[in-house]
Amino acid sequence: MTSPTPLDLLSSQLVLVRETLTPGERRALFRSAERGRFVRLRPGVYLPADMWSHLSAEDQYLARIAAAVAVEPGPLILSGLSAAALWRLPFIGSPPIRPEIISGTANGGRSAGSIVRHGIDMPDSVVDFGPFAITSLSRTLVDVARTESFEAAVAMTDFSLRLPQSGEAGPLAARVTKEVLEEELEELLPTTGHARARAVREFANGLSGSVGESVSRVNIHRLGFPPPELQVVFTDEKGAMEVDFWWIDVRGIGEFDGEGKYIKPEYTHGRTTAQVVIDEKNRENRLRAQNTTVSRWDWREARSRPVLRAKLLSLGLRPIRRARE
């Protein structure tokens, strides 16, 4: 079954109690929900259970956003992590449950159980996104940087600074520059979390190739190790090889090993998992032949600072400052 888009969910798939015209129809809907045929996304809004079960965690969150927009009084603007989801920015782990909105209503600062309502002035930088109004990409990134974890904000900002990849279109192809982020920060002064957002802007790097690389880079920094060069290219008689992290002083190479490299079609290019493993081993041997040391780590190891520290030490690296929390 093909997953519907969030816009499809909003326009045709959500079932609103207020649109069931008779008491009998309402009772039938509630009975169906009790039997597991419908999922309640928020009070008064349901979605067929078979459709819900085929949605990814990210699209389930988008369905909750669509449900909120369908029944919340306007005007409202989706913001924070909700806007990030619509911009298709990468999340670390599962997305949240509750949609975030900026509301122009008098009680704009009060959050109910199923929604987070921010009581702040309506921003000027708003984008129409089908039936949604959302904060601009730059405002979204700054808001996330002000309120969420450093690594979550860096991952999203890294993604938005890099060049669009082949096949990316729509929200996935939207990009910002550090200059635009700086302008957004200046417009928000004074605001809570401004220093945190500025730190994210300064640290972010569009050369980071994946969320795993962004998280790795954050923890390399927190552990006090020198910053690596990113996406450095090595060549030999067989061709070019781009590496994730390079420390020239110790001739050390760090590689983030995401699972997608071994199973996703856009990375395997028709090869079996076994062949990908063999190809990666051969590539590593070619890199070692250039008088380098190579260390690899996966997602779990990237997020475990003691494990990552040991791998960096194995490259000959030493911390240049005290580790940070």
The pTM (predicted TM-score) of the whole model is: 0.86
CA distances from 257 to 126, 145, 276, 297, 315 (A): 37, 26, 12, 6, 17
The residue ranges of every structural domain in the chain are: 1-71, 72-206, 211-314
pLDDT 10s digits, 40-54: 998 899 999 999 999
Which three-class secondary structure state does DSSP give residue 236? strand
> Which residues fall within 8 angstroms of residue 25, CB to CB, at 6 or more apart?
none
Q: 225 is written with which tokens?
A: 């190790």
Q: For strand 252-256 and strand 239-247, is the pairing parallel, antiparallel, or unpaired?
A: antiparallel
Residues 6+ apart with CB under 8 A from 147: 80, 193
- Give which of 280, 277, 168, 156 is closest to 218, Cα–Cα: 156
Kindly report, residue by residue over 57-67, the tens digit of the pLDDT.
998 999 999 88
pLDDT tens-digit map of 237-295:
999 999 999 999 999 999 998 776 666 666 666 777 788 788 789 999 999 999 999 99
Q: Please tell me whether residue 225 adopts helix, strand or coil conformation.
A: coil
Q: Judging by beta carbons within 10 Å of its beta carbon (0-12, 13-18, 19+), is residue 239 exposed, middle or buried?
A: exposed
> What is the spatial order of strands in the sheet that 252-256 belongs to?
229-236, 239-247, 252-256, 293-297
Each residue's pLDDT tens digit, 204-229 = 999 999 999 999 999 999 999 999 99
d(CA 255, CA 193): 32
Under CATH, which number does the domain 211-314 receive? 3.40.960
Which residue, 214, 196, 195, is CA-closest to 205? 214
Q: Helical H runs in 87-127? A: none
CB 77 within 8 A of CB 122: yes
